[in-house]
Amino acid sequence: MTTLYAKDPDHRALNEAVRRAGDSVRITGCLGQRFIGAGMSGVRIEIDGIPGNALGAYLNGAEITVDGNAQDAVGDTMNGGRIVVHGSIGDAAGYAMRGGEIFVRDDAGYRAGIHMKEYKDKVPVLVIGGCAGSFLGEYQAGGVILVLGLNADGRRIVGDFPCTGMHGGRMVLRGTCGGIVLPPQVTARPASPEDMEALRPYIEAYAALFGKDAGEILDSPFTVVTPDSANPYRRMYVEN
């Protein structure tokens, strides 16, 4: 594994060094450099510090692990691969995400998972272990958003205006969604045994990554939110 010290290089120099480093690289002392791993495939990147905006943007199969927090737009338009954040993330994580997985140990800011989409076997997954801010899943068109609320401490696990304009995919919230106001174009229902079997791999992966008890999480009630078939937003999009 190649080790890069990120204290001095700007984001352009650092990303060029990552591309030259081979298939495994560790970045130490990261100080807000943007676009780390953008568009990359076939490489494993470990980051010690706080990466800047657009970490893993357009990711195409690479794996990125952050030993700390990350800023805005993590996984922007990512196509494949995995991003693991051992902390919290800023706003707009998974924006227009169309493949791959993002696992966040703690909280996410506003507008996580907006415009997520899927096509055939490409189903993006965003797992948030803590709480999410307002506008979660805005205009979601596909994929799975899973919020576990493990450190909620009395907070609502999702902020205001979740699922606004949602017309595809699933949002799954741990708990019964008390106090969460959903828009009229979606339906919320308790998770079925079939839903839980579909969620199990994501919850077990989260637990393995962050040292949690998967069984304890799975024993909780979950709520599944999906768009209504009569959703008027569907007419705004072309379907094949």
Quickly count: other Cβ atoms within 10 Å of residue 169's Cβ: 22
Q: How many CB atoms lie within 10 A of CB 26?
A: 17
The answer to whether residue 201 is domain-embedded is yes
- pLDDT for 157: 94
**Averaged pLDDT score across all residues of the chain:** 92
Domain assignment present for 230: yes
What pLDDT is recorded for position 231?
Answer: 52
What is the extent of the structural domain holding 229?
A: 88-236
Tell me what pLDDT residue 102 has: 98
- The alpha carbons of the chain give a radius of gyration, in whole angstroms, of 18
Tens-place pLDDT, residues 39-93: 999 999 999 999 999 999 999 999 999 999 999 999 999 999 999 999 999 999 9
Q: Characterize 40-77 residue by residue with b for buried, 16 or more Cβ atoms within 10 angstroms of its Cβ, and e for exposed.
A: beebbbbbbbbbbbbbbbbbbebbbbbbebbbbbbbbb
Res 7: pLDDT: 79
Residue 217 lies in a domain: yes
pLDDT at 182 over 60: yes
Amino acid letter at 92? Answer: A
Nearest CA among 42, 134, 140 for reference residue 82: 42
Q: How many domains does the chain have?
A: 1
Per residue in 93-132, pLDDT tens?
999 999 999 999 999 999 999 999 999 889 999 999 999 9
pLDDT at 214 over 60: yes
Position 25 in a domain: no
**Better pLDDT: 44 or 238:** 44
Look at residue 56 and tell me if it is in a domain. Answer: no
In a domain, 139, yes or no: yes
Q: Say if 111 falls within a structural domain.
A: yes
Does the residue 83 lie in any domain? no
CATH number, domain containing residue 156: 2.160.20.60
